[in-house]
Structure 1
Amino acid sequence: MPEKKRVLFLVPYPLHRAPSQRFRVELFLPILKQQGVNYRLRPFMDEATWEVLYKSGSPLQKVWGVVKGFIKRIKDVVFIVPQYDYIFIHREATPIGPPIVEFIVSKLWRKKIIYDFDDAIWIPNTTQENKIVNWVKAFWKVKYICKWSYKVVGGNDYLCQFAKQYNKNVVLIPTCVDTVNQHNQLKEQQTERVVIGWTGSHSTMKFLDEIIEVLSRITEEFNVDILIISNKAPQFTIKNLRFIPWQEATEVEDLLQMNIGVMPLEADPWCEGKCGFKLIQYMALGIPAVASPIGVNKQIIDEGQNGFLCNTKEEWYNTIALLIQDVEKRRLLGTKGQAKIKAQFSIQANAGAFVDLFN
């Protein structure tokens, strides 16, 4: 009987917290278990550090959290990495500093690194709360980790094209949802009020600035709600605005309050690297999506078939106004959108590609 494969996941965040890690790594773990793969996860960050890291203040607690993470990574490299065949690194082994851990894993221990990322993480993009990190982040390290890896996994074509400059074994696996066990409902569009919604982390909420004027106009002209689901409350005010703190336990239930989902972006290289996960979540639940025609958004949305792409504020306004008034249009777009997500952006559709990374 062949020996079971052994995979160590070096991940940045505590479990069940960060969307990229949850839907690119954690969601596939039951499939690895079914395949008889032995695996272990080692987050860099603990829960206490996660709670303060993206908030203003608490500098000593942040520093201590990072120090603890480095101590853990030293233990990983010395004692745990040697026990495994494949080392799966999501985004980076350490959040700051040069790729020392990745170098040791690849060059000294001679382990096969599977390197996965879903953002253009070679481009500086730190938050205002952590701008001091900008000079110690070592964004240049991404290309070296790509070079040293056995395989590189990108969440879209743009990311894969970057990786292919440094590694010939590049695999595209989109950020996925579980359309059988989690995102498995279809939005009922015949509701008393229409809700226009947005979900995402606080770091991407800035993109709503692109359409704040539009949403304000919409709420003045139509009796609708604006729903924000995030880990931090929005700083802007707008008529009929509702905020729901993100919680994993109620994630799908909260999303299903939306009739229309929006995803504005800016036209820049960082946004080109985004993997369209907001759209994937909306559409998986039959919520028609309206988005900026940036990057992978143009591949996820088929214009007029399962959603709309808008360039100008007037296009945003006209599209949202149309969907507010046409319940059948929302229902048709939602049904077609859900079918596309099941076929291309579900773990069921991508399980084989993920398992094959370890061959």
Structure 2
Amino acid sequence: MPQLLFLTQAGPTLPSVRFRVLPFVEAARAVGVDAAWRRYPKTALARAAFFAGLRRTPVVVLQKKLVSPLELGLLRRRAGRLVFDFDDALWAAHPGQGACGGGEAPGELERLLRVCAGVDAVVAGNTFLADKVRAVARRVAVLPTPLDSDAYVPGPQRAPGPPVVGWMGTSCNLFFLPPIFEALAPLAGELRLSVVSDGSIDLPPGLAGSCERWTPETEIPRLQAMDIGLMPLTDDEYTRGKCGFKLLQYMACGAVPVASDVGFNREIVTHGRDGFLAGNAADFARYVADLVRDPALRARMAARARAKVVERFGLAAAAARLWPVLGLGGGPV
């Protein structure tokens, strides 16, 4: 068995697995820790086989999976140190009336608190999530989702033409875009829209642009093609649990973020310096217009945004914070 085992609720394409599990597996291996990850079995039969074969493991990280009391107890007995990691408000309904697969499930907060009370430490993606479980957890650490700033870099100089205002995300979050697009309509002819998602959305008449299918291979080039990155959100339990990773992707690749003034967005963006925080759709339009019409402002803010991601949200800094929580070495918590 490995020294460090991550158990995930889904496969490698889920963002929380791609960015909160797989990079740390590689980082651990790079410093000589035998690390691995496995998807938590779906069926009762598969879970029975899994637990039958699970030997004593020094560190087990359960990533976002709310297991039953019996399974938590079995993991507790097999793990020298058991840690729970999460980066979403797992108890909250999506504001798009089930756009992400349904509303709030009864008892989800109670399940989360029970799991957090039964582990040695909890790693939360932001302060809002951490505060939700502090009363029951033995130890809580806040660890924003890191970004490999050596992979997510600005692209080559953009070709002449209108600035590209982009959005990248999963189809359930297309819900947030229509009011922003409506507010941007007066800027037709001054910008191009770029939507990159696993779903599609109709762009408003008069606004030029494209809606392209997301793939792992084209993710970074599509981000590099953006001059301005949008992250509109409503203000509720679900969105306050978001960890702003979309903003980090924009910023690392040279796009200036314009984001809703909600939750963890406030801890990523310094308004007016490396991005803008918007209170409503009209604010989005005003800040986008400022950036579209002032290339020098755009360049200054993009450089500051990139520098912030490298310094505060890079993978090396995140690993240095995570290892002490897992009991794998020294460093700041």
With structure 1 as the length reference, what TM-score do the two structures score? 0.83
Letter in 1 for 2:131: Q
Query: Is 2:285 the partner of 1:284?
Result: no
Query: Is 2:209 the partner of 1:230?
Result: no
Letter in 2 for 1:12: Q
Q: CA contact under 8 A between 1:118 and 1:154: conserved in structure 2?
A: yes
Q: Distance in 2 between matches of 1:292 and 1:136?
A: 29
Q: Distance in 1 between matches of 2:106 and 2:124?
A: 24
Q: Distance in 2 between matches of 1:337 and 1:263?
A: 15
Where 1:254 maps in the other structure, the secondary structure is helix
1:127 alignment partner, one of 94, 98, 123:
98
Q: Distance in 1 between matches of 2:60 and 2:46?
A: 16
Instruction: Give the match for residue 32 of structure 1.
Output: 28
Instruction: Give the match for residue 153 of structure 1.
Output: 123
Instruction: Give the match for residue 330 of structure 2.
Output: none
Q: Structure 2 regions of 5+ residues with no counterpart?
A: 328-333
1:13/1:20 CA distance change after superposition, 3 Å: same
Q: Structure 1 regions of 5+ residues with no counterpart?
A: 46-65
Instruction: Give the match for residue 271 of structure 1.
Output: 239
Structure with more helix by fraction:
1
Shift of 1:166: 1.2
Query: Is 2:6 the partner of 1:9?
Result: yes
Q: Deviations over 1:151-197 (max 9, x none)?
A: 100111111111212113111111111112x1133574674221110
Query: Is 2:137 the partner of 1:167?
Result: yes
Q: Distance in 1 between matches of 2:107 and 2:8?
A: 16
Where 1:121 maps in the other structure, the secondary structure is coil
Q: CA contact under 8 A between 2:155 and 2:225: conserved in structure 1?
A: no
Query: Is 2:292 the partner of 1:324?
Result: yes
Q: Deviations over 1:235-278 (max 9, x none)?
A: 56553231121111221111111110010010112111110111
Shift of 1:212: 2.8
2:85 alignment partner, one of 111, 116, 124:
116
With structure 2 as the length reference, what TM-score do the two structures score? 0.89
Q: Distance in 2 between matches of 1:282 and 1:99?
A: 40
- Could you say what the CA RMSD is over the residues aligned between the two structures, in angstroms? 2.3
Shift of 1:217: 3.3
Q: CA contact under 8 A between 1:187 and 1:334: conserved in structure 2?
A: no
Instruction: Give the match for residue 92 of structure 1.
Output: 65
**Identity across the alignment (%):** 26
Where 1:248 maps in the other structure, the secondary structure is coil
1:134/1:275 CA distance change after superposition, 3 Å: closer
1:187/1:353 CA distance change after superposition, 3 Å: farther
Q: CA contact under 8 A between 1:99 and 1:141: conserved in structure 2?
A: no
Where 2:153 maps in the other structure, the secondary structure is coil
Q: Distance in 1 between matches of 2:246 and 2:234?
A: 15
Q: CA contact under 8 A between 1:10 and 1:89: conserved in structure 2?
A: yes
| Runs of 4+ with deviation above 6 angstroms | none
